[in-house]
Chains A and B, each alone.
Chain A
Amino acid sequence: MSNSDALISRLHELQTEALDLVASAADASALEEARIAFLGRKEGRISLVLRELGRIDPSERAAVGAAANRVKGTVQAAIEDREGALAAVEAAGGVALDLTLPGRRPARGGAHPVAIVMEEIWEIFRDLGFTRARGPEAETEWTNFEALNTPLDHPAADEQDTLYLKRGGLLRSHTSPVQVRTMQAYEPPIRILAPGWVYRRDTYDPTHAPVFLQVEGLVVDEGITFVDFKATLAEFARRFWGPGTQTRFRPSFFPFTEPSAEVDVKRVIEHADGTVEETDWLEIMGAGMVDPAVLEACGIDSERYTGFAFGMGPARIAMLKYGISDLRIFFENDLRFLRQFGPDGRGGTPA
């Protein structure tokens, strides 16, 4: 056996010995002792072997050197791996590490589902050039009815049975007063969304509440037509409900719009299994071309300017979107319900 062969087999023996010691190191200091014992620059046993390199035939040095570096590398890698394992045990508090246990999650909250829907509606209309306007919740009969072409003795004023205040004024039954105030304060072009709470004298039932969020929109400019009206709302419907959504406009009556329409959508729902379901027509909003009497009441020349307006209830939209059959759950604010619309509602690993 040549010197070099003897050295190489020596190195392999040392490797086996070193790996055993590393594997049995119980903590970081034992591991460090093992490292010094084998790889220590001065007294490390592998290092010492390498010092003997000078004594062998130069033609064989390269082979021995390579073998020595391999062994060094193997032992070094074993030490690093053991270090990681020991750190993991420490992280687990000294008990057996079980990474299937749940992680420590940061606190997480979220918006109310109706507010989420409101935001989605806003984002779509923002992209269509709208801004948001707001106004008071307590209003006068003039802004809530009369400016909107609704005489107080008309049956239409009854349909939204109104809550009045003892010292005068009323709680707005729609956010249309915001439209009135905006038209009085700004020159066209006007493209606004008016979100806000509205009040009606309805008792609570699965589809009614005496107070609910509404969002109305108003566009007033030169050359706005029934075609623009249809196009804008159909575009909204496609963006909100998905590209396959069909929109239907049915004639209706509101004192403040003429022509007036109810807007229905038919959604195309693609299920996870690839099947496609088409819903019935779902009524989502009331809308129409702004009645010239409304424009005139707000100081806008109705011969020059035309416009359209629409209104919808985000709670109703949320019911359709999330499959909720009783809107009273929105007022309960039960965390188990609210959480379904936050990060936890989006699937993933259960906590």
Chain B
Amino acid sequence: MNISIRWLSDFVEGDLGSLEELTERLALSGFPVEGIQDFRQGLSDIVVGRVLEAQPHPDADRLKLCRVDAGTGEELQVICGAPNARSGGIYPFIPVGGVLPDGMKIRKAKIRGTHSFGMLCSAREMGLGQEHDGILELSGEYAPGTPFLEAVGLDDAILDVEVTANRGDLLSHIGVAREVGSVREGLPSLPGTTPVPFELRSAPDRLEVDGVTFVHEAPEDSRRFLGAIVRGVKVGPSPDWLRLRLRAIGARPINNVVDATNYVLFELGQPTHAYDLAKLHGPEIRVRRARAGEEVTTLDGEARTLTSEMLVIADADRTVDIAGIMGELETSVTEETVDLLLECAHFEPGGVRMTKKALGIQSDAGYRFERFVDAGGQERALARVLEIILATAGGELHPVVGDLHPRPWSDPEIALRLSRVEHLLGVPFEAERIGELLTPLGFEVVGADGDVLTVRVPGWRGADVTREVDLIEEIARRHGYDAFPATLGTFRPGTVPDHPLFHLEDETRRWMAGVGAWEAQTPAFVPAEQGEVELNNPLSTKEPVLRREILPSLLRRVEYNLARGNRDVRLYEFATSFRKGGPDGLPLEEPRLAVAIHGARDPGHWSASTEGFDIWDLKGWLEALAPRLWPGATVEPGSDLGIPVNPHLALVVKNAHGEVVGCGGVVADASVDLPPWAGSVFGIELRLPADPAPAPAIRATPLPTHPASERDLALLVADEVPAASIVSAARDAGGRLLEEAGVFDLYAGEGVPEGHRSLALRFRFQAEDRTLTDEEVEKALDRIVVRLREEFGVEVRGG
């Protein structure tokens, strides 16, 4: 909301203080100032200039040669390109040496052989509008040379105040004035206007004034509708003070009638609307729901189709206004309008919001109604609009104003317990202090009974202050948040356990740091083929779904890094996998860990060339990582979980129940775009347990007191027999004394028959209570050899 300091100070008793102080006060009241435009700095070089004579430039069709009186005592020759420069006109003028707000310095210029001493200014050049409609002609009589800002009342600064969604009352100068100071009685007087008296003719649903029928059919949507009739107006440009005040806060002047309604909207926050009375069929004005499918062309030129939930204002035949949002084009005020019907009404926020959203219309009026407009402010706002219109457009007000008033407003009262104030704020407040804090905002303490105060809420806070806690917030806010102590007290521990998955992630982060992997974070949105959970309103049609697998996002990051010359890329990410079929119609979510590895096994060193990360590294990672995530997990050949790996170079992770919980392997060439020199990318995708069980308890085993015996065997094993089967059978056959068995070498080639390899196994035998004899060890080893021969046809090499 743009707030003019001059406008604001018209409302406030005493001084507003410096801009900095005011900005700080607003911020600490909850309304930070997002920007400041200070005309006093930008436009101070501009004066009022009168064009004594404007003639076509002898050598240029589009230029005019003007003689300008800028109050310097001499006539200045000025060349002007604007079509509206005319003899006798008064315009803002910047002399040679002056500087415009955009920093442009005015110099003596020679244009097409003629000198020009200064410049006549457009609104745009002064930061007072966006239009390209020539120089700004002033309508008042000002002495040439008068500083422009002073002449038109623009020695002003504009604050862009951020207003929270609950405070519709602050979308007005009077509202902001209440927050920053003590507001004067009555409204500020305006140049050349005088308040006009009128009489209300009230009825809940039907009445007649000056031959116009008023009907109200929708009491739920609108508690009040006022209509005033003004005949014989002369529509035309507004006076300078009105035009420029609107321009200063960023509104575009239209004509004196529309400008008056806009002025009141920004002053009091109450939208009003003027109809061309001659165009209202009936003449009748009717508050009703729209007919389904009814069409209307709004002021912005758009054709709109209405539904039967939408509230409209209609004449005898058709919709003439979408209630609280935007008027219809044909019945709106134009230069030809003579008789007016002025509407000032209250509409309920919910309905306005629904209609606005359904039709996609933004308007100053709608923005205010959906945030709640002062429920008791219609009469005053209407009087203000009439005061301005009668002064600027003339005409005669019918002394009776129609007042359809189906649901009269009365200011609500709220019970406020002093004990509750302390209970919530931690500091006691006395009744008197509460009165001091709330009264300047328009609240009134109307009763006090022991612990309980009765507080009356003004109409402009009728929507956001409805409960005791709302009043307590106002007390805290007015007292000043900074005035409360901040002493840390004792606290009780909570009942909620720390979620174990966070702990598991933290542990995994540390493990990953130790193996040289960097954590990545990537967005969850992916192309349609990479997921199944569709967004209703995606940001991009290229990424309309949520990802099912995480690895592809990391592969994109590997490509990105390689393209930027980064080598040895190891990335991991914790993220959620989304699939269809979760509870309550929601997706199924699964926490996952993905890893992508490319490049060397170890960081390079000048002393040797590095070896690439390979499938055995990958398997080792999985073997080390998986049991941390899934106690008892095993790693086996296989491919699953939908990640794009070469199925011949892939491994699956199974949890202790044999379910596949992860997969890793060499990423298929088609799934990652690598430069030709780059080797394979290794990928891992692992489910994480949604609710990890605590790590199994560890029981220490005493160390053996007797030495162990080791034996090695070289075995000729057919290629199709997996090493894991050999080791597992050997473990089984080795019996109680066999403590450990593992492969320590593999050889194929000379001396080994075709279709076989030589597998070297090392066995470690151990007894708790004695040193084993050679006979005992050999016996166990024989059992192993016999078992392997019988089961797999394995022969001992050189045996």
CB distance from A209 to the nearest CB of B (A): 7
Is A226 part of the contact surface with B, judged by Cβ < 8 Å?
yes
B352-373 CB contact bits vs A (8 Å, 1 = yes)?
0110000000000000001100
Known: A129-B493, A136-B586. A227 touches B485 (CB 8 A): yes
Is A240 part of the contact surface with B, judged by Cβ < 8 Å?
no
Q: With A and B bound together, what is the CA distance between A227 and B165 in angstroms?
A: 26
B458-498 CB contact bits vs A (8 Å, 1 = yes)?
00000000010110110011000110111111011111111
Chain A contributes a number of interface residues (CB within 8 A of B) equal to: 100
Q: Is the CB of B426 within 8 A of A226?
A: yes
Q: Give the contacting residue for B539; candidates A203, A227, A252; CB below 8 A.
A: A203
CB distance from A251 to the nearest CB of B (A): 3
Q: Is the CB of A230 within 8 A of B481?
A: yes
> Which residue on chain B has the smallest CB distance to residue A202?
B539
Q: Would you list which residues of chain B between 565 and 609 have a CB under 8 Å from chain A?
A: 566, 569-571, 576, 578, 580, 582, 584-587, 589, 602-603, 605-607
Q: Is the CB of A250 within 8 A of B27?
A: yes
Name which of B505-513, B630-638, B647-655 contacts chain A: B505-513
Name which of B153-161, B528-536, B695-703, B708-716 contacts chain A: B528-536
Is B518 part of the contact surface with A, judged by Cβ < 8 Å?
yes
> Which residue on chain B has the smallest CB distance to residue A163?
B535
**Residue from the set B491, B533, B570 with the largest chain A CB neighbour count within 10 Å:** B491
CB distance from A218 to the nearest CB of B (A): 9
Is A101 part of the contact surface with B, judged by Cβ < 8 Å?
yes
Across-interface contacts of A158 in B (CB, < 8 A): 165
Is B400 part of the contact surface with A, judged by Cβ < 8 Å?
no
Q: Is the CB of B571 within 8 A of A333?
A: yes
Known: A133-B499, A230-B481, A253-B166. A225 touches B424 (CB 8 A): yes
Q: With A and B bound together, what is the CA distance between A128 and B560 in angstroms?
A: 41
> Which residue on chain B has the smallest CB distance to residue A263?
B481
Is A111 part of the contact surface with B, judged by Cβ < 8 Å?
yes
**Residue from the set B370, B499, B522 with the largest chain A CB neighbour count within 10 Å:** B499
Across-interface contacts of A330 in B (CB, < 8 A): 521
**Residue from the set B470, B522, B535, B569 with the largest chain A CB neighbour count within 10 Å:** B535
Q: With A and B bound together, what is the CA distance between A187 and B512 in angstroms?
A: 37
Q: Is the CB of A253 within 8 A of B164?
A: yes
A100-131 CB contact bits vs B (8 Å, 1 = yes)?
01111111111110110001001000101111
Q: Is the CB of B353 within 8 A of A155?
A: yes
Across-interface contacts of B607 in A (CB, < 8 A): 93, 104
Q: Is the CB of B489 within 8 A of A189?
A: no
Known: A93-B607, A137-B576. A226 touches B506 (CB 8 A): no
Q: With A and B bound together, what is the CA distance between A318 and B448 in angstroms?
A: 51
Known: A110-B513, A250-B27. A197 touches B426 (CB 8 A): no
Name which of A1-9, A51-59, A75-83, A254-262 contacts chain B: A254-262
Q: Give the contacting residue for A191; candidates B491, B535, B560; CB below 8 A.
A: B491
Q: Is the CB of B491 within 8 A of A221?
A: yes
Is A271 part of the contact surface with B, judged by Cβ < 8 Å?
no
Q: Is the CB of B586 within 8 A of A168?
A: yes
CB distance from B471 to the nearest CB of A (A): 10
Q: Give the contacting residue for A190; candidates B494, B522, B525; CB below 8 A.
A: B494
Q: Give the contacting residue for B516; candidates A107, A115, A199, A336; CB below 8 A.
A: A107
Across-interface contacts of A114 in B (CB, < 8 A): 521
Q: With A and B bound together, what is the CA distance between A171 and B534 in angstroms?
A: 11
Q: With A and B bound together, what is the CA distance between A338 and B539 in angstroms?
A: 27
CB distance from B359 to the nearest CB of A (A): 15
Chain B contributes a number of interface residues (CB within 8 A of A) equal to: 91
> Which residue on chain A has the smallest CB distance to residue B512?
A109
A250-293 CB contact bits vs B (8 Å, 1 = yes)?
11110100111110000000000000000000000000010110
Q: Is the CB of B589 within 8 A of A136?
A: yes
Across-interface contacts of B485 in A (CB, < 8 A): 227, 230-231
Is A322 part of the contact surface with B, judged by Cβ < 8 Å?
no
Q: Would you list which residues of chain B between 422 and 443 have a CB under 8 Å from chain A?
A: 423-427
Q: Is the CB of A209 within 8 A of B523?
A: yes
Is B213 part of the contact surface with A, judged by Cβ < 8 Å?
no
Across-interface contacts of B495 in A (CB, < 8 A): 186-190
> Which residue on chain B has the smallest CB distance to residue A232?
B488
A162-192 CB contact bits vs B (8 Å, 1 = yes)?
0111111101000000000010001111111
> Which residue on chain B has the smallest CB distance to residue A112?
B519
Q: With A and B bound together, what is the CA distance between A235 and B487 in angstroms?
A: 9
Is B333 part of the contact surface with A, judged by Cβ < 8 Å?
no
Q: Is the CB of B506 within 8 A of A189?
A: no
Across-interface contacts of A248 in B (CB, < 8 A): 482
Known: A140-B586, A165-B536, A333-B557. A211 touches B606 (CB 8 A): no
Known: A165-B534, A225-B426. A111 touches B519 (CB 8 A): yes
Q: Give the contacting residue for B30; candidates A154, A225, A253, A336; CB below 8 A.
A: A253
> Which residue on chain A has the smallest CB distance to residue B27?
A250
Q: Is the CB of B539 within 8 A of A111?
A: no
Q: With A and B bound together, what is the CA distance between A210 and B540 in angstroms?
A: 11
Q: Is the CB of B165 within 8 A of A261?
A: no
Across-interface contacts of A258 in B (CB, < 8 A): 469-470, 472-473
Across-interface contacts of A250 in B (CB, < 8 A): 27-28, 30, 32, 481
Is B140 part of the contact surface with A, judged by Cβ < 8 Å?
no
Is B746 part of the contact surface with A, judged by Cβ < 8 Å?
no
Across-interface contacts of B472 in A (CB, < 8 A): 258-259
Q: Is the CB of B496 within 8 A of A133?
A: yes
Across-interface contacts of B467 in A (CB, < 8 A): 292
Is B735 part of the contact surface with A, judged by Cβ < 8 Å?
no
Q: Is the CB of B580 within 8 A of A167?
A: yes
Q: Is the CB of A155 within 8 A of B371?
A: yes
Across-interface contacts of B354 in A (CB, < 8 A): 153
> Which residue on chain A has the smallest CB distance to residue B556?
A333
Q: Is the CB of B492 within 8 A of A167?
A: no
Q: Give the contacting residue for B524; candidates A126, A211, A228; CB below 8 A.
A: A211
Q: With A and B bound together, what is the CA distance between A197 and B370 in angstroms?
A: 31
Report 29 cross-chain contacts, Cβ distance below 8 Å, ordered by A residue: A105-B603, A107-B515, A107-B516, A109-B513, A111-B513, A114-B521, A137-B576, A138-B533, A138-B589, A139-B586, A154-B165, A155-B371, A163-B537, A167-B533, A167-B580, A168-B586, A169-B584, A186-B496, A191-B493, A197-B576, A210-B523, A211-B523, A221-B491, A253-B167, A255-B166, A259-B476, A331-B523, A334-B561, A335-B561
By a beta-carbon cutoff of 8 Å, the part of chain A in contact with chain B is 93, 101-112, 114-115, 119, 122, 126, 128-134, 136-140, 153-156, 158-159, 163-169, 171, 182, 186-192, 195, 197, 199, 201, 203, 209-211, 213, 219, 221, 225-228, 230-232, 234-235, 247-253, 255, 258-262, 289, 291-292, 306, 330-336, 338-339, 342, 351
By a beta-carbon cutoff of 8 Å, the part of chain B in contact with chain A is 27-30, 32, 164-167, 350, 353-354, 370-371, 423-427, 467, 469-470, 472-473, 476-477, 481-482, 484-489, 491-499, 501-502, 506, 509, 512-525, 533-539, 546, 557, 560-561, 564, 566, 569-571, 576, 578, 580, 582, 584-587, 589, 602-603, 605-607
Query: What 7 A-B pairs have minimum CB-CB distances, sorted nearest first?
Result: A107-B516, A225-B426, A251-B30, A253-B164, A227-B426, A191-B494, A249-B481
Known contacts A112-B521, A228-B489, A255-B166; can you find 10 more A-B pairs with CB under 8 A? A122-B502, A129-B491, A138-B586, A165-B587, A221-B491, A226-B424, A227-B485, A251-B476, A332-B557, A342-B518
